[in-house]
A and B are shown apart, each in its own frame.
Chain A
């Protein structure tokens, strides 16, 4: 498959995407677990990850920040499975709103001529699913929605 195909499952709050990349799994794994993230968590004019730091081991944390539609954002999480070059699992939370973390799982499979990378982002919930929401919270989430939006500004 030449480009990523991502599918959303509404009832379960899951995104699944797969892409084939013509480099070995070791190389892909490095791009998932290093500052290189700032070169691909990017969509020109929509979101731009400027900083990424991570302590890549089970229990270690990561944090990313940048600009989405002109507004700053920060994401963070914890690595829960680190199995190079086959599998990487980490939690994902926007900093600020008290949302339970969602979970990002990357699975790398060696295929002829490269790597099949499968992404599963699960447990994605909308803010209003949780009680005790506050206005400030809604604003942070709005920022995240804009950040993640594909619509060009």
Chain B
């Protein structure tokens, strides 16, 4: 279980950055323009996201372009997937029970 991944997505601003990067790569300026959070705070979030592997930065001229790398989220999806299956299976059972009565 990758603690870095979970920590990275535990923060709403970082999740918002990931959401933004889903639309395409961006540099730090463009990203900061999307948030009221201060530029240094955004840099810190980007560092945590880079360390988690969820964001990859590539140099382009004098700046860095940030890209989304969703691969580490696979683990998180596994965790959520268990809940998904629990509810799907339980709701199907509920339907069978209630409709069999009638």
Contact pattern, A 40-78, Cβ under 8 Å of B = 1, otherwise 0: 111100110000000000000000000000000000000
A21 and B89 contact, CB distance less than 8 A: no
Please give the number of chain B residues whose Cβ is less than 8 angstroms from any Cβ of chain A in the complex: 35
A31 and B98 contact, CB distance less than 8 A: yes
Chain B residue with the shortest CB-CB distance to A7: B84
What are the residues of chain B within 8 A of A39 when measuring CB–CB? Answer: 93, 97
Which of A13, A19, A27, A127 interacts with B80 by CB under 8 Å? Answer: A13
B87 and A15 contact, CB distance less than 8 A: yes
Q: In the bound complex, what is the Cα–Cα distance between A41 and B15 (angstroms)?
A: 32
B95 and A4 contact, CB distance less than 8 A: yes
What are the residues of chain B within 8 A of A8 when measuring CB–CB? Answer: 77, 80-81, 83-84
B35 at the interface (CB under 8 A from A): no
Chain A residue with the shortest CB-CB distance to B1: A128
Within 8 A of A (CB), among B58-102: 73, 76-77, 79-95, 97-99, 101-102
Please give the number of chain A residues whose Cβ is less than 8 angstroms from any Cβ of chain B in the complex: 43
- Known A-B contacts A121-B87, A145-B79; the reply to A11 vs B9 at CB < 8 A is yes
Q: Secondary structure at chain A's binding surface: helix, strand, loop or mixed?
A: mixed
What are the residues of chain A within 8 A of B85 when measuring CB–CB? Answer: 6, 148-150
A103 at the interface (CB under 8 A from B): no
A125 at the interface (CB under 8 A from B): yes
Q: In the bound complex, what is the Cα–Cα distance between A128 and B1 (angstroms)?
A: 8
What are the residues of chain A within 8 A of B93 when measuring CB–CB? Answer: 39-40, 42-43
B44 at the interface (CB under 8 A from A): no
Q: In the bound complex, what is the Cα–Cα distance between A128 and B77 (angstroms)?
A: 14
Contact pattern, A 1-39, Cβ under 8 Å of B = 1, otherwise 0: 001111110111101010111110001100100001001
- Known A-B contacts A3-B92, A4-B88, A121-B87; the reply to A148 vs B97 at CB < 8 A is no
B88 and A126 contact, CB distance less than 8 A: no
What are the residues of chain A within 8 A of B7 when measuring CB–CB? Answer: 128-129
B55 at the interface (CB under 8 A from A): no
A89 at the interface (CB under 8 A from B): no
